[in-house]
Structure formats: C-alpha cells, structure tokens
Amino acid sequence: MVPLTKESVVGFFTKDIKSLDDLFMHGLQDLYYAEKQIMKALPDMIEKATNAQLKAGFEKHLAETEGQIERLRQVFELLDADPKGDKCPAIEGILKEGKELMSEIEGDDVMDVGLIAAAQAVEHYEITRYGALIAWATELGRTDCVPAFKANLAEENATDQTLTAMAERRINPKAQEKPAEKPAKSQAKSTARRSKPKSPARPAAKAKRNGTKKARRRA
C-alpha cells in the first residue's frame, strides 16, 4: 500500500484541473456518470415502491433521466468532446446509502418513506451540480450549453417538489383543510364583536347629567 503524503493528497484533488475550463469539463463528466448510475438505480426503487403515486413518479423520472443523459451528450458535442463519465464518489455514496437503507427496512409504508428520503438526497445533489455547471458555462461564455443544463435542472426541481409534497401529505394528510377553517373562525369572531351589547351604564350616566342640568335651571 502506497502511504499518503501531503503531495499525493493535493495531487489527487488538483490533477488535470488547472483552470475553470478543466473544472467545467470535470463537472460535466461527473454529472454524466451520475445520471447513468441513477438510471441504473431507479428500476430497483420502482420495484420496491408500494405507493402507486410514488411508483409512477419514479417511472416518470426514469424516462426523464434518459432524456437528461441525451442532453448531456449534446453538450459534449457542442464542446467537440466524446461523451465520457468521470467516476463520481459522491453519487455512488448516496446511492449505496439508499440501497443499504432499503435492505434494512421492514413494512411497505416505511419503505415508501425511506425511498422518498433516498430519492431526495439524489435530487439535491443533482440540483447543486447543475446550478454550478450553469454558472461556470455562463462565465466561460458557453451560453450554448446553458439551455440543456437548465432543462435538466427544471426536471430535477420538479421531481424534488413532488417528493416533498408526498412526504408532507403522509405526515399531515389534512393539512390542506386548515386554511379553509381560518376564514370561518375569523368571521365568527367579527360577528361576535358586532353583536356585543352596549353597556347599560352609559344611558344611566346620561340621565343623571340631564337631571343635574334641569335642577340648575330651576334654581
């Protein structure tokens, strides 16, 4: 085993990445690899999902992922580079963690919850990476690559929002009913204010003052 030195560690992170162009290409290859790994993982997630909506969502995203890979291929073509994936330890770790989690879960309902969490971990990684690629492409003047990245990012954001909605409905399925109850409650309070009887003390005080005035006139 080769011992780790300061030079070898630094070299690991800086090898072949000496400019923003290098970083941009590395990020593109990273995401190309990640999308292909996600496409391989989704069929297993589809099989394990028991909620019909969740299963359909995974099936839809599998088709979207195929389209996202094709868009990345088009970016490679724009850059006159061969489509090539650069092994991504981050996405491998996220997918491995999700797979291990699914192997430990018992019960369909809990499995669906675990699948949502695992899928959102993947989406959040992709959202971050696509955001970086858009920024780098813009800075490098490669605006021709940006539409493909933005199209993929829009799909990732939509998937993440769908997963969040599923999780929230499970936690509080009646959450959407609460806003409808508030106006009725507020109206009841305002009605109560309008129907509040006037204090009887005011007319009595007024009569007393009138009696005093009359007594003064007689005097």
> Would you state the pLDDT for residue 16?
75
Give the residue-averaged pLDDT of 168-188: 53
What is the distance between the alpha carbons of residues 61 and 158, in angstroms, rounded to a whole number? 10
Q: What residue numbers bound the domain in which 101 lies?
A: 16-174
200 domain-assigned:
no
Which residues touch 207 (CB under 8 Å, ≥6 apart)?
none
CATH number for position 30: 1.20.1260.10
User: Has residue 210 been placed in a domain?
Assistant: no
In a domain, 217, yes or no: no
25-59: pLDDT as tens digits: 999 999 999 999 999 999 999 999 999 999 999 99
Q: What is the pLDDT of residues 2-21, one digit of tens each?
A: 343 333 333 334 457 899 99
Burial of 88 (0-12, 13-18, 19+ CB in 10 A): buried
- d(Cα 33, Cα 47) in Å, to the nearest integer? 23
* pLDDT of the residue at 219: 45
**Rg (alpha carbons) of the chain, rounded to whole number:** 32
How many independent structural domains does the chain possess?
Answer: 1
Query: The pTM is what?
Result: 0.70
Is residue 70 assigned to a domain? yes
Instruction: Name the amino acid, one letter, at 58.
Output: F
Q: Is the pLDDT of residue 170 over 60?
A: yes
Instruction: Tell me whether residue 218 is in a domain.
Output: no
